[in-house]
Chains A and B, each alone.
Chain A
């Protein structure tokens, strides 16, 4: 992120205020020095003695000011983070009578910021007088040495007066250039970094002439797939299975069993180490990448909405999806009711990451998105958080609707989804341990039966369960126990 913004910014600075000004300054300096040299070579050289001093002073200032500026920036960032957090959490602060305590904390970081600023003032406070002083030294030198030259008759007094003036004019452009020199340096470093990023190879590449593109029928086959995110840390070991067009498959297994990895590989976010993954009998690597991914629609557990309108989130940049299709898709997944109740209906702005919408509503929107795209294959990574009963029903209906008539791979958390699947694949430590439908697997009394007993049966003993007992969806450190989430 910083590479994208700050470095481009440094380059931008160079072009907007660097080059043109430097050119002007150089012309000015050359002209003045030329005239001075023509009038008196020795006095010119004495006058120019101040130039290295000026350069040194500017460099010192630039460095110090930059360091101070960086410090000030990190500290103001802390203040802003604190304020943002405490404005958003003001209710919590109040309910716990923590106003005074939080004020104390704020005073501490506010003070840090003040200190950083006051430290930075030093550089400015020294620099400006120092530059004036160097200027005065220049004038003193001209008077003193120039006077000596006049005394010897090597120079007229009029020329000396002119010299005094010229040395004044020379000063500004030299100061500018030594300033720009630093901008130039920063720009060189920045452009170096930018080009390094641009030169990085793209890991997943399209074949020069892809063998296959267009809409898939939806036949998936994994043949002895081995995959690791790093080194020999195998996440999938010799995984083989096939899914016929229109079939739905639920992947179950505990944390780290490789469920989500399978969905990532299907869309070729990563390439596998050995084995084959085939779609419609063609190796994924032979598919046109764009076309391959267009065949999928994904609904992820962490619903991500982009800033824009509800409508643009359903359409997600595909302008060939008509308004009618957007409303149709929303209606099919029963999202139309709440959308139409929003202030501007489909044109309602979605705020940062979907703030203002409930979890359930965001899920419904993402289902509508999947349906509007009408993909050959659906990948669903189910969310685990619970929602009120009515919305939950809507979501289950939506899932059913979206899965209809297409090959679906579901990382399942809802019992209802698992049961509805044509086939369940039980993963354990990257291997497929069991396959079959709900009843068959229960009858086997194996891993699935154990998972079921541990999770659903226990929780469903006497009370209504709308969700599965997993709430550790995000960090998922090794908490032990079998879980249906990843």
Chain B
């Protein structure tokens, strides 16, 4: 119920539409129910003596009522279904706005597929709640409420007979409709599986062929296909049961009217016209009764979906601005870690232990260490991609949590391990993090990142689309795009989180040389497992199991003869091996 109350707020901006729409339903129902009355009147008026003029008037009345009812029916759909689309728009926008503020941990917990399901299937179900359900419910209520007294006025016995039997139609639809829906969903899911399987085989065709596994794949596909057919049969069987049953129940209604009504008409208790009216009302009741069963299902599905969406809505972004956060002085770039011990979950083994490190503004510091040594986690704490404990990470002696996210992050250029490019032009991808960028600036940073030559060779230069609808960039090109993107923001702090791993050493050196000039008075942090990337840093920190075990320049660390020297030896050895 709480879910629904929250949902009701979405109708507030559209309350005028809602009210107008409801009035249209009422008007349409009234005119539509007038038609049988006019027909009945025509029959009775002309029963003893036929009058051409009276007939013409009746025919025109029927047409007139129909035009009026149709017009309101048009308006009703247009207004109410249209409103549901507006509500859907608002819901979807808010859903996205809510999710885009969520931290990394949220997306690790909720799989993209699950979130997508909520944004598409659940949202669609909720939309049905907002539009069709309201419309059909009110339509049914109005029809029943208006028809009931009209029918009672003609004959209470006939009316009673119908209202005892006809709700069975609604029950049939409700029961079987749910079954149909469940089976249909299963079929859809399964169909997605089949499509995925086929797609996989098309994409991986070289592997399948190369291993001569066509036979096995075809067999597996046939198996899927057989199951798909079975599931379809189960749907058809239910459907084949539901339709005749409905037909039967409706037919039964007409039989009842004839069985009970004809004697009444013969005895003169009702007129032939009234008998006709009754018949026509029954016809007009059929759809609302079917709709009623359908609506109950819509309601159940819609509220279940609403609950699922609200569950996401209830999660406040774990990383956000502290209440009353204030704009701090512009960031100069000094970073300090004070007694930092960090673990992802409360009782987990710490990933970082007793880190104490001060990096003056303008220094370049590199972090090396094995996979899992904590170097990525350490740099992720600075832009608050991961939340550090309080009073452990400082920028310009201010705890990171005391900055607004906007101020903090706009001072940082961050190049992650896995580059994420959007399906957009290259220029837009590079200018992703800035309000507006001149083409000249974009070209300049592309040059800095060693990307300019690649871009020249693309069909549309900087306007070339990348991603799904465009070309696929190589790993190295992606990483260089990410570097250009970060540099364009002119950050005070530049963080390269293993950002050159797919770039060859030769290009890497060129990029680093250019960046060094650019970053002279800025702080830069470089995470890498390659000596070549880190050797020229002002300071190199070696991490092992969450601790800084060595610190110093390349030469100092070599002289120390510890972990770093070891790593260097190993990489040197490989090189020598390669050269002989």
CB distance from B450 to the nearest CB of A (A): 10
Q: A464–B572 contact, CB under 8 A?
A: yes
Q: Which residues in A have their C-beta under 8 angstroms from that of B381?
A: none
The interface residues of chain A lying within 8 Å CB-to-CB of B73 are 125, 128-129, 132
Q: Which of A144-164 contact B (CB under 8 A)?
A: 144, 147-148, 150-151, 157-158, 160-161, 164
Which residues 186-225 in B have Cβ within 8 Å of A in the complex? 191, 194-200, 202-204, 206-213, 215-217, 220
Kindly report which residue of chain B lies nearest to residue A4, judged by CB atoms.
B198
**Given A16-B232, A97-B409, A471-B474, A133–B66 Cβ distance below 8 Å?**
yes
Contact A81-B468, Cβ < 8 Å, known A92-B416, A143-B58, A464-B531? yes
Q: For chain A, what secondary structure do more than half of its interface residues adopt (helix, strand, loop), or is it mixed?
A: helix
Pick from B213, B272, B485, B529: contact of A316, CB below 8 A.
Answer: B213
Closest Cβ of chain A to B84, distance in Å, is: 9
Q: With A469-B507, A472-B454 known to touch, is A102 a contact of B578 (CB < 8 Å)? A: no
Q: Which of A183-191, A225-233, A299-307 contacts B (4 or more CB under 8 A)?
A: A299-307
**What residues of B have a CB within 8 angstroms of the CB of A319 in the complex?**
216
- How far apart sit A136 and B59, CA to CA, in the bound complex (Å)? 9
> What 0/1 readout, one digit per residue, does chain B (384-424) give for beta carbons within 8 Å of chain A?
01000000000000000000011001101010100010110
Please report whether the interface of chain B is mostly helix, strand, loop or mixed according to DSSP. helix
Is A114's CB under 8 angstroms from B85's CB?
yes
A147 & B116 in contact (Cβ 8 Å cutoff)? no
Would you call A106 and B96 a contact (CB within 8 A)? Answer: yes
With both chains docked as a complex, state the minimum distance between the C-beta of A353 and any C-beta of chain B, in angstroms: 8
CB of A132, distance to nearest CB on chain B (Å): 6
User: In the complex, what's the smallest C-beta–C-beta distance from A290 to chain B, in angstroms?
Assistant: 5
* B152 close to A (CB within 8 Å): no
Partner of A470, one of B89, B200, B472, B504: B504
Per the bound structure, the CA–CA distance linking A474 and B101 in Å amounts to 34
Q: Nearest chain-B residue to A9 (Cβ)?
A: B191
Number of A-B pairs, beta carbon distance below 8 Å: 332
Do B50 and A147 have beta carbons less than 8 Å apart?
yes
Tell me which residues across on chain A come within 8 A of B207, comparing CB atoms.
Answer: 298, 300, 304, 316
Which chain A residues in 263-292 approach chain B with CB under 8 Å?
Answer: 267, 269, 290-291
B327 close to A (CB within 8 Å): no
Q: Report if A174 contacts B (CB, 8 A).
A: no
Cβ-defined partner of B81 (8 Å) among A125, A140, A267, A416: A125
In the assembled complex, the Cα of A103 lies from the Cα of B578 at a distance in Å of 51
- Give the contacts of B508-526 with A (CB-CB under 8 A): none
CB of B20 within 8 A of chain A? no
- Asked whether any CB of chain A lies closer than 8 Å to the CB of B383, the reply is yes
- Is residue B22 within 8 Å, beta carbon to beta carbon, of the partner chain? no
Is B13 interfacial (CB 8 A cutoff)? no
Q: Is A117 an interface residue (CB 8 A)?
A: yes
Q: Hey, what's the 0/1 contact readout for B6-50 against A, CB within 8 Å counting as 1?
A: 000000000000000000000000001001000100110011001
Tell me whether A234 is interfacial, beta carbon within 8 Å: no
How far apart are the CA atoms of A139 and B504 in the complex, in Å?
81
Q: Indicate whether A293 reaches chain B with its CB closer than 8 angstroms.
A: yes
A337 within 8 A of B: no
- Pick from B74, B101, B209: contact of A99, CB below 8 A: B101
Report the separation of the CA atoms of residues A133 and B72 in the bound assembly, to the nearest whole angstrom: 12
CB-CB under 8 A from A86, the residues of chain B are 96, 100, 422
A20 CA / B502 CA spacing, docked (Å):
60
| A81-B468, A317-B217, A475-B471 known; A464+B39 contact, CB < 8 A | no
Given contacts A139-B62, A150-B46, A267-B210, contact A165 B279 (CB under 8 A): yes
Known: A93-B100, A121-B81, A304-B204. A389 touches B570 (CB 8 A): yes
User: Are A296 and B89 in contact (CB-based, < 8 A)?
Assistant: no
A469 in contact with B504 (CB, 8 Å): yes
- Extra contacts besides A20-B240, A85-B422, A464-B568 (13): CB < 8 Å: A16-B236, A95-B383, A110-B89, A111-B89, A113-B89, A114-B85, A114-B89, A121-B77, A269-B206, A298-B206, A317-B220, A471-B476, A472-B474
A binding-site residues for B, Cβ under 8 Å: 1, 4-5, 12, 16-17, 20, 76, 79-81, 83-99, 101-103, 106-107, 110-111, 113-114, 117-118, 121-122, 124-126, 128-130, 132-133, 135-137, 139-141, 143-144, 147-148, 150-151, 157-158, 160-161, 164-165, 168, 267, 269, 290-291, 293-294, 296-298, 300, 304, 306-307, 316-319, 369, 373, 379, 385-386, 388-390, 392-393, 415-416, 419, 456, 458-460, 463-475, 477-479
12 contacts between A and B (CB under 8 A): A91-B416, A99-B100, A106-B93, A121-B78, A133-B66, A157-B43, A298-B210, A300-B207, A416-B578, A469-B505, A475-B472, A477-B458
Q: Residues on B close to A: CB < 8 A?
A: 32, 35, 39, 42-43, 46-47, 50, 52, 55-56, 58-60, 62-63, 65-67, 69-71, 73-75, 77-78, 81-82, 85-86, 88-89, 92-93, 96-97, 99-104, 107, 112, 115-116, 119-120, 191, 194-200, 202-204, 206-213, 215-217, 220, 232, 235-236, 239-240, 272, 275-276, 279-280, 283, 370-371, 383, 385, 405-406, 409-410, 412, 414, 416, 420, 422-423, 432-433, 435, 453-454, 457-458, 467-468, 471-477, 485, 489, 501-507, 529-532, 535, 567-568, 570-572, 574-575, 577-579
Closest 4 CB pairs of A and B: A471-B476, A96-B433, A464-B571, A317-B216
